[in-house]
Amino acid sequence: MSSNQDQRQYWTEAAPGWLAAERAFERVGAEPGDRALDKLAPAPGATALDVGCGSGGTTLELARKVGPTGAVVGVDIAEPLVEEARRRAADAGCNNVTFLAADAETDDFGGNRFAAVYSRFGVMFFADPVAAFANIRSAMADDGHLSFVAWQNVLANEWILVPVLAAASATGAVPSPPTPGQPGPFSLSDADRVHAILDEAGFRSIDIDPVADAVVFAEDEIPLMVEIASGAGPVAEALRDADDARRASVSQAIEDALRSRADRGQIELSRAVLLVSAHR
Ligand SMILES: C[S@@+](CC[C@H](N)C(=O)[O-])C[C@H]1O[C@@H](n2cnc3c(N)ncnc32)[C@H](O)[C@@H]1O
């Protein structure tokens, strides 16, 4: 059994909520993801890998970049997300992508294969990150390029911090703060740690670019923000077996917290990521 068995179970169970909220999540995650893709700049004809590809939106984007003479593999540990990704690729008539339900930490993707490896928030969930990045590296071509984006500290990401704390104020159950060593959305938030992991995994030319900005929502987008927070993570956990009354009180608490931040109809919440680039 893989050491990421609990992540497989978590993401398999979270898949319906994630899929329901992912359109909203795009509002926060798309721009940093695009920046990481710009850094990767895969050449037409290249062979690329998308790690933790979810429902495959970024995999299709990679496929467009490498064009019909290139090929892209999307890998994700959650079978329902991979099935959805396959459906979307078929609907888009995209035939230079394949999807694998696999653990990027332990599964063998073939040696010396990928010129470009990308991930949008899909590499923070490994039980043993050094082993995982070494495994990814072994699938890369000799001068292969890795580019991914990961969240900085939760305190610098109010778009999720504010709703999570608001939900906690309604349920009374405060989630334990994420620690850098623990698999989860904030496990690669520390640039020095990320550098050390990639170095130990054998990467060179490691470049880590911290980017901090803000996401600005209109006040009438508050329901969208409740959706983002409720899709996966601690708020989704708190709501898992909740009755309607509890759901309503959590949603209301999130709405109130966000509305209290509104200024002239706009809510500005901090967002901070690390753009990480490295070569094999
Ligand atoms: C936050 S989601 C991001 C999904 C997608 N990259 C996006 O931006 O929409 C993280 C993804 O990583 C996947 N994941 C977690 N651990 C993994 C592992 N060991 N191997 C492959 N995928 C993994 C999850 O199933 C999930 O789809």
| Atom 8 of ligand 1: nearest residue by CA position | 120
Measured in angstroms, how far is the CA atom of residue 251 from the centroid of ligand 1? 26
- pTM for the full model? 0.95
What distance in Å separates the CA atoms of residue 90 and residue 97, rounded to the nearest whole number? 10
Token pair 């909520």 in the structure block, residue: 17
pLDDT in tens, 265-279: 999 999 999 999 999
Instruction: Give yes or no for residue 227 CB within 6 A of ligand 1.
Output: no
CA distances from 111 to 62, 69, 108 (A): 20, 20, 8
- Please state the atom number of ligand 1 nearest to the C-alpha of residue 4: 19
Does the structure show a pLDDT above 50 at 38?
A: yes
User: Which of 77, 84, 148, 228 to mutate for ligand 1's pocket (most ligand atoms within 8 Å of CB)?
Assistant: 77
pLDDT in tens, 146-194: 999 999 999 999 999 999 999 988 888 777 777 767 899 999 999 999 9
Measured in angstroms, how far is the CA atom of residue 263 from the centroid of ligand 1? 35
225 falls in which pLDDT band (50, 70, 90)?
Answer: confident
